[in-house]
Structure 1
Amino acid sequence: MEKVGAFYMMISIDEKAAMWFTNEFQNNNTVRMFPQYDGFGEKNKGFSLAFSAEAPSNIGFTKEINGISFYVEGNDIWFFEDTETCLSYNDEMKEIQISFKETMAIN
């Protein structure tokens, strides 16, 4: 768990998920993770997690895996507040599976 501002967050990405990102985002070494309004959402009602291959402008959090920097912009940190965001690869569906684990703030 990493302290970001006044709260904690963690992003975990398993090896199969990391390979999926490597294949899907070829020739890009940065992947932005951000909340996208779509009417659904497991963690924040009305929002889901989206991904984009773009250069950062105001990094609030970053984690490098397999040469790819996964990052969250500073203004999107609220979505990940006091949460472990887990990205794994679903072999049956052949896509990324996202789960959120609420955490207790550590003082």
Structure 2
Amino acid sequence: MKIVISERASQWFKEEMELKQGDYVRFYIQFYGSSPVQETFSLGFTKDEPIDMAASTLAEGIIFFVEESDLWYFAGHDLHVDYHEKKDEIEYQYTKSE
């Protein structure tokens, strides 16, 4: 599984969460909402230290990651995170892992 963060998304995270170089952002599973890969679950994020990191990427000096216990959610997909300017929010796209 790969995590891809757009430049604008990483800037949004840094501004909104007041992150500095070397901080970690965890993507985690929420038991409500819906996504293209899981019907009754959605993805959230928080500033958190990793315990058992399964996938990660470095963007703008910030480490974005998913824990091993949350890997099932992605069901063989990579995570692409972008920023939607009109909505002023982060959006997720899932692509089948190669």
TM-score tier, shorter chain, comes to 0.7 to 0.9
Ranges in structure 2 where 5+ consecutive residues have no aligned partner: none
1:46: which partner in 2? 40
- Over 3 Å counting, the alpha-carbon distance change for 1:37 and 1:57 in structure 2 is same
Ranges in structure 1 where 5+ consecutive residues have no aligned partner: 1-8
2:22 aligned with 1:14: no
> Is this contact kept in 2: 1:82–1:103, CA < 8 A?
yes
Question: How far apart are residue 92 of structure 1 and its match?
Answer: 0.7
Equivalents in 1 of 2:85, 2:5: separation in Å? 15
Letter in 2 for 1:73: E
Question: How far apart are residue 40 of structure 1 and its match?
Answer: 2.1
- Over 3 Å counting, the alpha-carbon distance change for 1:82 and 1:32 in structure 2 is same
Q: CA RMSD in A?
A: 1.5
- Over 3 Å counting, the alpha-carbon distance change for 1:55 and 1:99 in structure 2 is same
TM-score normalised over the length of structure 1: 0.81
TM-score normalised over the length of structure 2: 0.87
Residue 86 of structure 2, aligned match among 80, 88, 92: 92
Q: Which moved more, 1:48-57 or 1:35-44?
A: 35-44
> Is this contact kept in 1: 2:19–2:62, CA < 8 A?
no
Equivalents in 1 of 2:80, 2:9: separation in Å? 10
Question: How far apart are residue 93 of structure 1 and its match?
Answer: 0.6
1:73: which partner in 2? 67
Equivalents in 1 of 2:42, 2:8: separation in Å? 21
Question: How far apart are residue 102 of structure 1 and its match?
Answer: 2.2
> Is this contact kept in 1: 2:37–2:75, CA < 8 A?
no
Equivalents in 2 of 1:19, 1:87: separation in Å? 12
Cα deviation digits, residues 35-84 of structure 1 (max 9, x gap): 11104222111111110111111111111111111111111111224212
